[in-house]
């Protein structure tokens, strides 16, 4: 409508400011109805124009806190499951959309293999013999042991979706074939990415002035780099391809009244698949790598529902763009970029904290790790390891020989 007869505006209540765009749009519709409906005389037919489906799906859920929208399963999945549409919907949403997307091709390839190579009409339920021949096929194709494990897990998951028995995957014969695959092919260790510590972060921030000609992009990348380090973030918690409820928005950030820190609310993450949300804190520091000052710059004069990180022209802040710019900054610092990734900020934060004497429990809490797996992110130099070994083994070199010394395992 180019010439509306009436318009309204209203300041958003403080208690709603951290909610996402879907809530804001639904609330705007409800407020419009509340404001204008008393002016209508008699029954009226109301037509609401919205620019997407957020309000359509979100309105029934407003009273329930606006639950995440369900992803509709393909019609082929509903038919194959043999369930009602509602049951199939819940079954489909039992796995993340990204998991569904990655696994679709594996099941198709397995079905084609069974039909073409084994001359069998029904690939499901799979038998131990089918799976063993599939393992041999992957071996002939030069696949890795990790690929084999992933494919078997995907095919087993498909059996769960179809309500079929998964006993074939427990076959001892299959287990031995997989072990033979591992022995023949081997399991090369993944190449660990190097950490981005505070000194390197400082150089990356400085390099942005030569890498990014756009002031907007330069400020965005600076804020992303600094926040990723300060809050031990994964790259997927910063970047986005299409705006949805999991994207960080301006309303996700709150600043302390005295400017001493900022809090960032992650709507979802790898360890929070059910979107309970987690609030992280970044301290203000008098450095060029201060996440608080960088966030304050990109949040200024922007609407609460806007994505926190956007590129010039309101383009999505994609992972590929994030990693590409990171590598350009590294090259500008005359550092090879091949050993770094978007995860290097998280690894670097843990490494830098450990090098400054921070205890393991604190690092685990800051990085939101639920186990000791974070220890593989903590890099120590050869000199540090040598010093530790020297202290542990050679600090008491003049001790006398005692054959009755209690063994460590007996202590």
pLDDT band for 348, please (50, 70, 90 cuts).
Answer: confident
> In percent, how much of the chain has pLDDT > 70?
74
| CB-based burial label for 34 (10 Å; 0-12, 13-18, 19+) | exposed
pLDDT given at position 266? 86
> In percent, how much of the chain has pLDDT > 90?
41
Mean pLDDT to the nearest integer, 81-105: 88
* Token pair listed for 153: 């897990």
pLDDT at 311 over 80: yes
pLDDT at 367 over 90: no
Contact in structure between 238 and 224 (CB atoms under 8 Å): yes
**Helix/strand/coil (H, E, C) string of 32-79?**
HHHHHHHHCCCCCCCCCCCCCCHHHHHHHHHHHCCCCCCCCCCHHHHH
pLDDT given at position 110? 94
pLDDT at 68 over 60: no
Mean pLDDT to the nearest integer, 94-122: 89
pLDDT at 122 over 80: yes
CATH architecture of 75-185: Orthogonal Bundle (1.10)
pLDDT band for 71, please (50, 70, 90 cuts).
Answer: confident
Residues 80 and 3: their CA atoms lie apart, in Å, by 51
Residues 268-297 have pLDDT tens digits of 666 656 666 788 888 898 989 999 999 999
Handedness of CA 386, 388, 389, 391 (dihedral sign): positive
pLDDT given at position 401? 53
More reliable by pLDDT, 19 or 249 = 249
How many other CB atoms are there within 10 angstroms of residue 163's CB atom? 12
pLDDT at 117 over 80: yes
| CB-based burial label for 291 (10 Å; 0-12, 13-18, 19+) | buried
pLDDT given at position 13? 67
pLDDT given at position 184? 93
The model scores a pTM over 0.85: no
- C-alpha 85: how far from chain center: 29
pLDDT given at position 16? 66
pLDDT given at position 25? 76
Residues 173 and 56: their CA atoms lie apart, in Å, by 53
pLDDT given at position 48? 72
According to DSSP, the residues that pair with 163 across neighbouring strands are: none
pLDDT at 241 over 90: no
Mean pLDDT to the nearest integer, 248-265: 90
Query: Helical H runs in 93-189?
Result: 97-116, 128-140, 145-162, 172-185
If phi > 0 it is left, if psi is from -120 to 50 it is alpha, else beta; for residue 210 that is alpha
For residue 360, what is the enclosing H or E element? helix 360-366
Grouping H, G, I as helix, E, B as strand and the rest as coil, residue 289 is coil
pLDDT given at position 58? 47
Residues 27 and 239: their CA atoms lie apart, in Å, by 27
Grouping H, G, I as helix, E, B as strand and the rest as coil, residue 229 is helix
Contact in structure between 178 and 148 (CB atoms under 8 Å): yes
Percentages (nearest 5) of helix, strand, coil residues in the chain: 55, 5, 40
pLDDT given at position 55? 46
pLDDT at 119 over 90: yes
Mean pLDDT to the nearest integer, 171-183: 95
Q: Which of 1.10.443.10, 3.30.70.1230, 3.40.50.2300, 3.40.50.1700 would CATH assign to domain 198-377? A: 1.10.443.10
pLDDT at 189 over 80: no
For residue 315, what is the enclosing H or E element? strand 315-316
Give the residue range(s) of CATH 1.10.443.10 domains in the chain. Answer: 198-377
Residues 10-50 have pLDDT tens digits of 667 666 666 666 677 777 777 777 777 766 665 666 777 66
pLDDT band for 309, please (50, 70, 90 cuts).
Answer: very high
Contact in structure between 233 and 345 (CB atoms under 8 Å): yes
Q: How many CA atoms lie within 13 A of 384 on its CB side?
A: 9
pLDDT given at position 24? 73
Shortest CA distance to 235 belongs to which of 244, 245, 224? 224
Mean pLDDT to the nearest integer, 132-136: 96
More reliable by pLDDT, 234 or 193 = 234
Contact in structure between 237 and 308 (CB atoms under 8 Å): no
pLDDT given at position 60? 45
pLDDT given at position 173? 96
More reliable by pLDDT, 68 or 324 = 324
37-76 b/e (C-beta count within 10 Å ≥ 16 → b):
eeeeeeeeeeeeeeeeebbeebbeebeeebebeeeebeee
Phi, psi of 30 (to 5 degrees): -65, -40
Kindly report the average pLDDT of the chain as a whole number.
82
pLDDT at 211 over 60: yes
Grouping H, G, I as helix, E, B as strand and the rest as coil, residue 307 is strand
pLDDT at 200 over 90: yes
């Amino acid at each position: 409508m180019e010439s509306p007869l009436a318009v309204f505006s209203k300041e958003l209540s403080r208690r709603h400011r951290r909610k996402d765009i879907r809530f804001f749009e639904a609330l705007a519709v409800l407020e419009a109805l509340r404001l204008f409906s008393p002016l209508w005389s008699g029954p009226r037919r109301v037509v609401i124009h919205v620019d997407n489906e957020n309000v359509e799906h979100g309105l029934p859920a407003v009273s329930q806190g606006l639950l995440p929208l369900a992803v509709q399963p393909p019609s082929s999945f509903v038919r194959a499951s043999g369930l009602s549409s509602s049951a199939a919907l819940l079954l489909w949403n039992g796995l993340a959309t990204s998991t569904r997307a990655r696994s679709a091709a594996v099941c198709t390839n397995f079905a084609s293999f069974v039909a073409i190579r084994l001359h069998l009409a029904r690939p499901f339920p799979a038998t131990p013999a089918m799976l063993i021949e599939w393992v041999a096929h992957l071996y002939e194709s030069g696949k890795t042991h990790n690929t084999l494990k992933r494919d078997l897990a995907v095919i087993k998951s498909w059996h769960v979706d179809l309500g079929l028995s998964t006993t074939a995957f427990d076959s001892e014969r299959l287990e031995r074939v997989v072990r033979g695959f591992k022995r023949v092919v081997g399991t090369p260790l993944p190449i660990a990415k190097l950490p981005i510590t505070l000194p390197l972060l400082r150089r990356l921030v400085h390099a942005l002035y030569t890498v990014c000609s756009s002031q907007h992009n330069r400020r965005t990348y600076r804020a992303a780099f600094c926040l990723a380090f300060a809050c031990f973030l994964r790259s997927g918690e910063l970047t986005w391809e299409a705006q949805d409820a999991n994207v960080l928005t301006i309303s996700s950030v709150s600043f302390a009244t005295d400017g001493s820190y900022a809090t960032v609310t992650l709507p979802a993450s790898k360890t929070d698949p059910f979107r309970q949300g987690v609030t992280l804190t970044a301290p203000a520091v008098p450095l060029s790598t201060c996440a608080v000052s960088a966030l304050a710059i990109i949040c200024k004069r922007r609407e609460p529902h806007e994505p926190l990180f956007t590129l010039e022209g309101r383009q999505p802040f994609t992972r590929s763009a994030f990693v590409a710019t990171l590598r350009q900054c590294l090259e500008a610092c005359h550092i090879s970029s091949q050993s770094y990734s978007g995860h290097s900020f998280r690894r670097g934060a843990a490494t830098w904290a450990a090098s400054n004497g921070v205890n393991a429990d604190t690092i685990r809490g800051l990085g939101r790790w639920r186990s000791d797996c974070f220890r593989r992110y903590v890099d120590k130099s050869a000199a540090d390891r040598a010093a530790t070994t020297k202290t542990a083994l050679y600090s008491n070199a003049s001790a006398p020989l005692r054959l009755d010394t209690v063994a460590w395992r007996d202590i």
